[in-house]
Amino acid sequence: MSVLGYVFVVITTVFYLGLGMLTASKPNLAGENAMGYGLGFFFLGVGFAISSLVLTIAINSKGGFQWVTTETGLRTPLVFATWFVVALTTFFCATFKWEWPSDTLYPQFLHWLGVHHGQLWVPLLWLLPCFLSLGATGQPTGLYRLPFFTSMLIGAVFTAGLLTGYFRESAQRAEAEIATRTADEARWHQDDLNTIAAQQVQDPIYTLLSYTNRFQADDVRAAALAKIKARPAWESDLLAVLTNKDYYKQAYYFLDGNAVTHPEQFARPLNQSLLWLAETVRNDINGSNNLQHWSFDSYGIERALRAIDEQFMNRGVDFYPAVQTLRAALNTTPPDRFKDVRFDITPVVDQWLANHRKR
């Protein structure tokens, strides 16, 4: 057998003994002691895994594991699978000996094996046949097979326990996340309803408009629409928002999916708002220090285009030139560091232009 095999059986044994000595008594995990213990544990655990892997490769490459099975195609996978489960069992037995949360969902036998020094006798069952295989001659006896397959069986069961615990805790975390998200969404939903209910007729209408978009919950949308339409001159108020250069984008929430009684009064202001939008886009591209593909998703461009199609076409206004101006604004040359950014909204505008191109 190669010198490499003997060298790494010694190195593996050193890491094995070091890990056993480190975990022999309960560590003091206060202050700097915790860091020292953690670093030592990591070094010895990883060292054992790596050195034992090299040892396995060295023995297997020289045919030292021929006694494992006569099936050559099965032998190597079986040898390395055994190494893996033994290394995993060794590391986690050492971990679980002194660290075992009371509320864990991992099977209790994992802790039991750690408390009963599994990090010592499980790898020893594996190391013994490895050591004997270094100088094996002739047909081996049960002294090789029994401890080897015993370590493999224990390691496989232990690994199955680890997987079981991992999936249990993953499922519990997923359930907790879903419950938290559901509770948050319910709270936000109620906050929206409370905000709408608190609105008075004298309050600005634009604070309600975002609650009327087509993607809001039905009850939130209905409550917002009821509040808006309870205003004596709600259409005039809405038109005032659309013609205000500071708030016009808020009007898109309402116009996208909610009919107005006099659409002809909105068509020209909506067309003008597209030119304002183009100016805003152009300025934002020129002055931005953080352009992203989604930078203009929140500007209401898609909402405005849907509103045009659904209730403002053929109202005496040609929207095509204004949309072309908006498209040209999206094509403004950005700062050089953003030259490869492609805005998500651009294909939406291109499609609208294609659909309405005069033939």
240 and 174 housed in the same domain: no
Distance in angstroms (rounded) separating the CA atoms of residues 341 and 325: 20
130 and 92 housed in the same domain: yes
Domain limits at 276?
A: 199-355
pTM for this one?
0.67
Q: In which band, very low, low, confident or very high, does the pLDDT at 14 lie, cut at 50, 70 and 90?
A: very high
111 and 203 housed in the same domain: no
Distance in angstroms (rounded) separating the CA atoms of residues 36 and 34: 5
Burial class from Cβ neighbours inside 10 Å (0-12, 13-18, 19+) for residue 37 reads middle
190 falls within a domain: no
142 and 208 housed in the same domain: no
26 falls within a domain: yes
- Of 125, 152, 180, the residue at which a domain comes to its end is 180
239 and 267 Cβ atoms separated by less than 8 Å: no
Other C-beta atoms lying within 10 Å of the C-beta of residue 6: 15
Q: What percent of the chain has pLDDT over 90?
A: 70
Q: In the prediction, which pLDDT does 141 show? A: 60
Q: In the prediction, which pLDDT does 228 show? A: 95
186 falls within a domain: no
Section 214-239 average pLDDT: 95
176 and 203 housed in the same domain: no
- Of 117, 146, 180, the residue at which a domain comes to its end is 180
- Of 125, 145, 180, the residue at which a domain comes to its end is 180
- What are the helix (H) ranges across the chain? 3-22, 32-61, 72-98, 108-115, 118-133, 142-198, 206-209, 218-229, 234-242, 248-255, 264-287, 301-307, 320-330, 346-355
189 falls within a domain: no
Task: Give residue 111's identity as a one-letter amino acid code.
Answer: H
228 and 121 housed in the same domain: no
Q: What percent of the chain has pLDDT over 70?
A: 95
205 and 344 housed in the same domain: yes
Number of domains in the chain: 2
Q: In the chain, how long is the greatest CA-to-CA distance?
A: 102
135 and 268 housed in the same domain: no
Q: In which band, very low, low, confident or very high, does the pLDDT at 137 lie, cut at 50, 70 and 90?
A: low
224 and 171 housed in the same domain: no
Is residue 138 predicted with pLDDT exceeding 70? no
Handedness of CA 347, 352, 358, 359 (dihedral sign): positive
Task: Give residue 353's identity as a one-letter amino acid code.
Answer: L
144 and 129 Cβ atoms separated by less than 8 Å: yes
159 and 210 housed in the same domain: no
Supply the mean pLDDT for the chain. Answer: 91
297 and 219 housed in the same domain: yes
163 and 205 housed in the same domain: no
Q: In which band, very low, low, confident or very high, does the pLDDT at 54 lie, cut at 50, 70 and 90?
A: very high
Per-residue pLDDT tens digits for 301-321: 999 999 999 999 999 999 999
Burial class from Cβ neighbours inside 10 Å (0-12, 13-18, 19+) for residue 247 reads middle
